[in-house]
Amino acid sequence: MMSKILKDGTVLSFDKATHSIKVLPRASILIVDDRITAIEDNSSDLPAPPETEVINVAGKIVSPSFVNTHVHMWQSVYRTLGPNVILSQYFSWVSQYSEAANAAFTPDDVYISSLEGYIEGLNGGVTSYVEHAHNNWSALVMRSGYRAAVDGGARVWWCYDIAPRLDFSVDEQWDIYDTIVQKVSSRVLPGLSLDGLGSSILNGDGTGLDFIREKTAKLNLQALSMHHLGGPWPQGNTSPTRVCAENDLHSTGLPIIFSHAPFLTKSDMQILRQHDLFVSITPESECHYGHGQNTGHLISDQACLGVDTTWTFSGDMLSQARLWLQLVRLRNYTKTLDAGLLPNANPMAVEQAFLLATRQGGRALRRDDIGVITVGAKADLVVFNGDGPNMLGWSDPVAAVILHAHPGDVEHVLVDGEWRKRDFQLVNLSQPWEELRSQFVEAARRIQPQLATPPPLRDRLWGVGEFGDVECASTLRQ
């Protein structure tokens, strides 16, 4: 691979001493193979190999790429199907447990739906994903989801959700997983999601720890992920307290990400900090579906951001960082206002939202070389043009990215030093965009009518969770 220099850009580097962004107003970055090997104010000082490609990024913002720590890509083809869906409808309607959804998707549908989801993210500068892969109802759809992760061009921690199925046994799933992860991909890393296994292995007797150690040794697992809700939601075995204090899964040394986690207890938060584990907050999903998010603002030091479902809203991380920033601000302002006082400070700085979408994702995965621009880091980079009407006139590059940018401002994207978007065009796709587009649209037009009507809510969620009335807003005068 030809070495590259990104020359004379405004670089959002990471200062390891202060754990903050250090803006370099005019700096150049040398990329050799998949790594950043030098950063200099003067590009002529870079020890560039012969025939290095030089890309002039003067006047542009060079950012670390974004890390999406929770997503289900196989569902992308549902796009716009559920503008008003709530979480309790989702499970029996369009989830992996929906018989109608299982029947609607062919393996090719799972592939093209997942592939397009990764490409949407790359278009907006998202280059790393924790994929909670619950496309687990047949061998072919399992393989198709994995193949899409390999072909997508991003960096993926593919955390497959092993779950008992009548026609696809747990043993069969393990055998296939063992087979597919042997096909080594430098960018698709094996992991596990524990939703389907949690009730059988997380029972406090050491079974879970032994089980995960055995699978880690065999499969070279790189991460564990699981959904956790808490609060009024029916309880499972996936709280940080249950997973660690009662089952010692932190002893595996693997990164563990608890997705959503909107109702953390004090014990949960203590566990996260004690063992350096993370929650993936998915702000738009938690607003959209009604998960809630009561405690995320209290655990920013052990939090990162995700998208969850790319079919219900945009798959870019700019939207998530911006929304979470303003939700935290609103919540903390309201505390002061409700006390009859005026706020005397801003509750959350823009830089913190930027770090949640970049550096914190790397931290969650225990990768100091992901989500940062430093010498030795992976060359996963985004170049914002900054000349569009929405960004023009910027002086603070971090504010420009978080508060003003959108995916259309992303001019270049590199993963491992390889172009994935250049001059505003997606490049190096596994197949021509027009072919991919045609297949995706065909699948959407065929699948969505089969799932057009959500089933009615049952009296209780899973026979346990009680429903309550929700106050609805309307433009109609009452």
Q: Are residues 389 and 277 in the same domain?
A: no
Percent share of the chain, pLDDT over 90: 93
313 and 403 belong to one structural domain: no
- HEC assignment per residue over the chain: CCCEEEEEEEEEEEECCCCEEEEEEEEEEEEECCEEEEEECCHHHCCCCCCCEEEECCCCEEEECEEEEEECHHHHHHCCCCCCCCHHHHHHHCCCCCHHHHHHCCHHHHHHHHHHHHHHHHHCCEEEEEEEECCCCCHHHHHHHHHHHHHCCCEEEEEEECCCECCECHHHHHHHHHHHHCCCCCCEEEEEECCCCHHHHCCCCCHHHHHHHHHHHHHCCCCEEEEECCCCCCCCCCCHHHHHHCCCHHHHCCCEEEEECCCCCHHHHHHHHHHCCEEEECHHHHHHHCCCCCCHHHCHHHEEECCECCCCCCCCHHHHHHHHHHHHHHHHHHHHHHCCCCCCCCCCCHHHHHHHHCHHHHHHCCCCCCCCCCCCCECCEEEECCCCCCCCCCCCHHHHHHHHCCHHHEEEEEECCEEEEECCEECCCCCCHHHHHHHHHHHHHHHHHHCCCCCCCCCEECCCEECCCCCCCCCCCC
Last residue of a domain, one of 364, 382, 403: 364
On whether both 284 and 250 belong to a single domain, the answer is: yes
Q: Please, how many CA atoms are within 13 Å of residue 405, restricted to the half-sphere of its CB?
A: 31
Q: At which of 383, 404, 426 does a domain end? A: 426
Q: With CA atoms as reference, report the closest residue to 118 among 68, 177, 185, 63.
A: 68
Q: What is the mean pLDDT of residues 226-244?
A: 93
Mean pLDDT within 283-302: 98
Q: What is the pLDDT of residue 198?
A: 83
Look up the domain containing 323 and give its range: 66-364
User: Is position 446 within any domain?
Assistant: no
| 450 domain residue, yes or no | no
- Reported confidence tier of residue 235, pLDDT bands at 50, 70, 90: confident
Domain boundary among 349, 364, 379: 364
- When pLDDT is averaged across residues 224-247 and rounded to a whole number, the result is 94
Do 278 and 292 belong together in one domain?
A: yes
Confidence of residue 43 (pLDDT cuts 50, 70, 90): confident
Amino acid 96: pLDDT: 97
Determine the Cα–Cα distance for residues 327 and 264; give it in Å rounded to an integer.
18
| Domain-located, residue 142 | yes
Residue 182 is predicted with a pLDDT of 82
Same-domain status, 304 and 392: no
Tell me whether residue 465 is in a domain. Answer: no
Per the domain annotation, does 449 fall within a domain? no
pLDDT in tens, 113-164: 999 999 999 999 999 999 999 999 999 999 999 999 999 999 999 999 999 9
**Contact between residue 88 and residue 467 where contact means Cβ atoms under 8 Å apart:** yes
pLDDT band, residue 236 (cuts 50/70/90):
confident
Percent of the chain with pLDDT over 70: 100
Residue 292, domain member (yes or no): yes
Task: Check whether residue 299 and residue 419 sit in a common domain.
Answer: no
In this structure, the answer to whether residues 345 and 378 fall within a common structural domain is: no
Residues 52 and 70 in one domain: no
Give residue 215's pLDDT. Answer: 96
Specify the range with the lowest mean pLDDT, choosing from 57-66, 233-242, 330-339, 414-423.
233-242
54 and 72 belong to one structural domain: no
Is 116 contained in some domain? yes
Torsion on CA atoms 122, 123, 124, 127, rounded to nearest 10: 10
- C-alpha span between 386 and 460 (Å, rounded): 50
Over range 334-346, report the average pLDDT.
98
Query: In this structure, is residue 477 part of a structural domain?
Result: no
pLDDT digits (tens, 9 = 90+) for 45-74: 898 898 999 999 999 999 999 999 999 999
Is the domain of 126 the same as that of 149? yes
What is the crossing angle of helices 170-181 and 139-151, to 10°? 30
Mean pLDDT of the chain: 96
If one counts the domains in the chain, the total is 2
| Residue 457 scores a pLDDT above 80 | yes
Whether 28 and 137 map to the same domain: the answer is: no
pLDDT at 346: 98
Q: Could you tell me the CATH number of the domain that includes residue 408?
A: 2.30.40.10
pLDDT, tens digit, for every residue of 180-203?
Answer: 988 768 899 999 999 999 888 998
- Say if residue 100's pLDDT is above 90: yes
For position 76, which CATH number holds? 3.20.20.140
Do residues 222 and 355 both lie within one domain?
yes
pLDDT at site 423: 98
